[in-house]
Amino acid sequence: MSIELDHIILDVDDAEASSSFYADILGFGCEGEEGPFTVVRVSEGLTLQLSPRGTAGGVHLAFAMSRPEFDRVFSRVRAAGIPYGDAFDRVGTQTGPGEETGARGPGRTLYFLDPNRHLLEIRHHEREGGAARGETSAVGPLTVADFERLAHARLPRPAWDYYRSGADDEVTLARNTEAFASYEIRYRALVDVSAPRLATSVLGTPVKTPILVAPTAYHKLACPEGERATARAASRAGSLYVASTLATTTLEDVASACEAPRWFQLYVHKDRAFTTRLVERAKAAGYVAIALTCDTPVLGRRLADVRNGFGLTEGLALANLQEILPPDLRSGPGSELARFVASRHDASLSWKDLDWLVALAAPLPVVVKGIVRGDDAVRALDHGARAVWVSNHGGRQLDLAPATIDALVEVVAAVGDRAEVYVDGGVRSGTHALVALGLGARAVFVGRPVLWGLAADGEEGARSVLALLTEELDRAMRLAGCAELADTRHVVRRRG
């Protein structure tokens, strides 16, 4: 699939300064000056011209780009803080705060405002055949991208940036989703798929869907009820909920709202006595597993949070950590969370500490989250972990880390039948989930999509996202000739 871009304009207030700005964020060197324009080379046969406002500048292209190439070209725009979203598919007009959003005319236009209030305009041909993925519809949101756009419209910018952004240049953030295009589904014909069976179990706990809720922080930025609303949504969807250490609701309050099975995600603190108390609280509150996050000795640099000086708004707090929060946490430059992690998380955490945690958590099983290598997965099992969770923290820790769907293949091969393997990262559809299951994941965790639903419509929005993904998986399984989850292992392969 490709799309023809017939007009790209970077429309700016100040030709010299802004041209440099855009050349820098796009990550392409300026080749020279042509009159009032700065020419930026993107790839062979494609250039952009950066023009001052009011000129008739711009570049008229007869150039087709595949979706991965389009996303690569504009990934640097996302990294600069421009709310780019999924522009390849999004057909409509996104305007400034308080203005209406909608489509216009047969040559539709997308508008995005960057942090310096310069305007990026991308104009392309309208596709035939109705709404594209990501476009609003009179029948309500139809895709995760629809929920994402609703969340963007409703969230304050710092909260949106916190949820959406990744580390540094956000290469891994983009790579997580892009990598799914490297796989294909070799569907089987003439299979009875009248009643696909999606129910499964994780660590012996039955769930109605293999699409589960990953731990994410600060849900009260999206919805006043925060994690309680998300937990109820997971219950209604027949899913499993993983509560975050960095929640804005205590793990006990989450448990009281959650009829679904639940795990507790744990960061190990320098204060091991406090870490012990967190585990004991999770046991007492009825959590059935401890998910140790192992990829955060320090916090990845999330540029949007640094630029925004991001921190929790007044009235919100790290509810599980009240007894250890420093009184000056809100004071200082940059990201409040980065300061907290630097002061509290144990960067010396090693395999011997996993032995300690497994003993502490017993009889609850320990899942190690944040694995992208087969040898690390085997070590985790050797030190007592019961399952392995392939994750790169949603592209928020080490940039240039492998896409999790690619890492999954290596981890599954290394683990074999010793333990269950789970995966998160970049899953934006039920078809993505089918690919992950087909490559050997026992279950698939989603984080940002649930947050988009929560921001769009609270508990009901989060439930709707989980229901949507499960419905998409059901349909993809039918189309692929898979009557049950195990059948997906026979239809997915890497392209080429």
> Residue 151 in contact with residue 44, Cβ under 8 Å?
no
d(CA 125, CA 107): 5
pLDDT of residue 490: 97
Residue of 345, 393, 432, 490 marked active site: 393
> Residue 196 in contact with residue 482, Cβ under 8 Å?
yes
pLDDT of residue 495: 94
pLDDT average, residue stretch 248-252? 97
| Domain boundaries, given as residue ranges, for the chain | 2-135, 180-494
Higher pLDDT residue, 63 or 320? 320
- Sequence-distant (6+) residues with CB within 8 A of 256 are none
d(CA 402, CA 249): 32
Residue 106 has pLDDT above 50, yes or no: no
Higher pLDDT residue, 419 or 5? 419
d(CA 464, CA 236): 10
Q: In the chain, how many H helices and how many E strands?
A: 15, 19
Tell which residue, 225, 229, 219, has the closest CA to residue 162. Answer: 219
Higher pLDDT residue, 449 or 259? 449
> Residue 315 in contact with residue 412, Cβ under 8 Å?
no
pLDDT tens for each residue of 211-236: 999 999 999 999 999 999 999 999 99
Q: What CATH class has 180-494?
A: alpha beta
Strands (E), 425-496: 443-446, 492-494
Other CB atoms closer than 10 Å to residue 130's CB: what's the count?
8
d(CA 124, CA 168): 29
d(CA 83, CA 67): 18
Fold of 2-135: 3.30.720
DSSP string, 335-378: -HHHHHHHHHB-TT--HHHHHHHHHHHTTS-EEEEEE--HHHHH
Take residue 268 and report the two structure tokens written for it. Answer: 């190990």
pLDDT tens for each residue of 254-268: 999 988 899 999 999
490 is catalytic: no
pLDDT tens for each residue of 118-165: 223 332 222 333 344 444 455 789 999 999 999 999 999 999 999 999
pLDDT tens for each residue of 286-296: 999 999 999 99
Let me know how long the chain is.
Answer: 496
- β-pairing, 2-12 vs 46-52, is parallel
pLDDT of residue 309: 87
pLDDT of residue 142: 94
Under the banding of pLDDT at 50, 70 and 90, the label for residue 81 is very low
- Amino acid in position 492: V
pLDDT tens for each residue of 179-196: 999 999 999 999 999 999
Residue 313 has pLDDT above 70, yes or no: yes
pLDDT of residue 324: 85
pLDDT of residue 138: 57
DSSP class of 226: T
> Model-level pTM?
0.74
pLDDT of residue 75: 52
Strands (E), 198-313: 200-202, 205-207, 211-213, 241-243, 262-266, 290-293
pLDDT of residue 436: 98
φ and ψ at 265, to 5 degrees?
Answer: -85, 130
